[in-house]
Amino acid sequence: MSAAPIGVFDSGIGGLSILHSIRQLLPDEDLIYVADSAHAPYGPKGEEFIRQRSLHIMQYLAHRQVKAVVVACNTATAAAIAVLRERYAIPLIGVEPAIKPAAEQSLSGVVGVLATSGTIASDKFLTLQSRFSGQTQILTRAGTGLVELIEQPQIDEAAVLALLESFIKPMQNKGADTLVLGCTHYSLIRSQIAKVAGPDMKIVDAGTAVAKELQRRLLTHGLNSLTPASHPVSFVSSGDLAVQQRLLARYWPESAAVTALV
C-alpha cells in the first residue's frame, strides 16, 4: 500500500477523459495531471519529438515521486511508452484505440476509428489493426483539426460539428456501425460526436478499461492507497495558465488550480 500520487499526462487536456474514469474508480488516490498544452497537438509532430516531451514530463513526475503513471494519450503511448518503460521501473499504463470491444459490439462488421494522424501511422496501431482485420473491416480517419478546436478557451460548436460530419459520415456510408474514439480529446466532445453519429452508431472509448488496468496493476504491486485522497487533483501545464484554468472549468467537475510545468 502506498499513499504516493499517480501521474497522468497527455499532450493537453484530452487525458481529462481518462482522469475522470480514474477518479471514479479510484477515489482514494492522489492524482497529478500534466497537460503539455504548449506543444499540443502531438498528432502531426513526429515520434522523436513526442518521445522527448514524454521523457521530460516523466522526469517531472518522477521528481514528484509518483508510484505509477498513466500515459493518457494514444499518440504518446504509440510513440513513447516503450522508451519510458526502458527507463522507469514503476507501473506505466498506456491507452490505445479500443478496437477489440468495438469489433465485439459491431453488427455490421465495419468499425470506424477516429484518431490522430500520428496514432494511425504508428507501428503499434498497425499491429493492433492487423490483429482484428481478419474478422472486422477497420476504417481509419485522422481527426485533423479537432484537438486544436477542443483546446480553444471558447469552443466553436459549429466548426466542431462540421468537422465531425466530414469524418463520420463517410465511415457510415461505408457501413460502419461502431466508432472508436482513438484520441482521448475526442471523449471530451462525446455528446457532439453522438449528435453527428446519430442513435444507431455505437461509440466506444478506452477510459474505463484504462482505469481498471491501473487498478489491477496497483493491486498487483501492492501500491493501492487505503486512505481517502487528501488533496484535490494537482493540475500542471506547459500552456497559458489562464487558458488552462478556463478549460478546466469546462471539462473538469471539481474546482482546481493549475500550476506551471517547469
Binding residues (CB under 6 A) for ligand DGL: these are: 10-12, 14, 40-43, 73-75, 116, 119, 147, 183-185
- What is the spatial distance between Cα 18 and Cα 47, in angstroms, rounded to a whole number? 22
Residue 19 CB partners (closer than 8 Å, separation 6+): 8, 31, 33, 72, 233, 252
Q: Residues 13, 35, 61, 73: which is the catalytic one?
A: 73
Backbone angles phi, psi at 189, to 5 degrees: -115, 35
Q: Residues 183, 197, 211, 218: which is the catalytic one?
A: 183
Query: In the 8-state DSSP scheme, what is residue 188?
Result: T
Closer residue to ligand DGL (CB): 43 or 112 = 43
Closer residue to ligand DGL (CB): 119 or 140 = 119
Closer residue to ligand DGL (CB): 91 or 118 = 118
Q: Cβ of residue 145: shortest distance to ligand DGL, in angstroms?
A: 10
Q: Cβ of residue 119: shortest distance to ligand DGL, in angstroms?
A: 5
Of the candidates 18, 12, 50, 56, the one whose C-alpha atom is nearest the C-alpha of residue 34 is 12
Q: Exposed e or buried b for every residue in 43-53, given b needs 16+ CB within 10 A?
A: bebebeebbeb
Q: Cβ of residue 49: shortest distance to ligand DGL, in angstroms?
A: 11
Q: Cβ of residue 2: shortest distance to ligand DGL, in angstroms?
A: 27
81 is catalytic: no
Closer residue to ligand DGL (CB): 128 or 223 = 128
CB atoms within 10 A of CB 173: 8
DSSP string, 33-59: EEE-GGG---TTS-HHHHHHHHHHHHH
- What is the spatial distance between Cα 170 and Cα 174, in angstroms, rounded to a whole number? 6
- What is the spatial distance between Cα 200 and Cα 177, in angstroms, rounded to a whole number? 7
Residues in the chain: 262
- What is the spatial distance between Cα 258 and Cα 262, in angstroms, rounded to a whole number? 13
Q: Cβ of residue 51: shortest distance to ligand DGL, in angstroms?
A: 14
183 is catalytic: yes
Closer residue to ligand DGL (CB): 43 or 224 = 43
Active-site residues, by number, are 73, 183
